[in-house]
Amino acid sequence: MGKIVAIVTTNKEKVAGGAPIFVADNREELEKLAFRLEKIMDCAVHDLLNGDLIVVEHE
């Protein structure tokens, strides 16, 4: 089972919960943030297609 280690979003109101949330102003910033998080955390980024990207640690 994968584990969500971070959420990167452009819409702060739509997300909440246990994982750290990073808010971006636009799509470009969103991608950059997610990219860095991916490299730092050794995790995979997945797109939920609602403006959120999640950083997931797979086993």
Partner 1 sequence: MKAWEWIFESEYTIGILIGGLFGLGARLAMLQTDYRQYPTYPHGRIIHIALGVIAAGLGAVAVPSLLGKDYTAVTFLTLAAQQFRDVRNMERETLTKIDSMELVPRGATYIEGIAMVFEGRNYLVIFTAFMTSLFSILFGWYWGIAAGIGSLMLAHYFKSGKSISAVADVELVPIRIDGPDLYVGDIYIMNVGLEETRQQIAENGLGLIVKPKNKNSRVTIANIGQRQAMLHDISTVLGVYRDTGEPSLIPLAKLDMKDGRLAVFILPQEKDPDKARKVLMKVPLLESAVRMPTEANVQS
Least distance to partner 1, CB of residue 42, Å = 4
- Which residues bind to partner 1, rule: CB under 8 A? 31, 34-35, 38-39, 42-47, 49, 53-54, 58
Q: Can you tell me the distance from the alpha carbon of 47 to that of 29, in angstroms, rounded to the nearest whole number?
A: 15
**Contacts made by residues 9-12, CB under 8 angstroms, sequence distance 24+:** 9/51, 9/52, 9/53, 10/51, 10/52, 11/51, 11/52
CB closer to partner 1, 25 vs 42 = 42
Least distance to partner 1, CB of residue 39, Å = 7
CB closer to partner 1, 16 vs 49 = 49
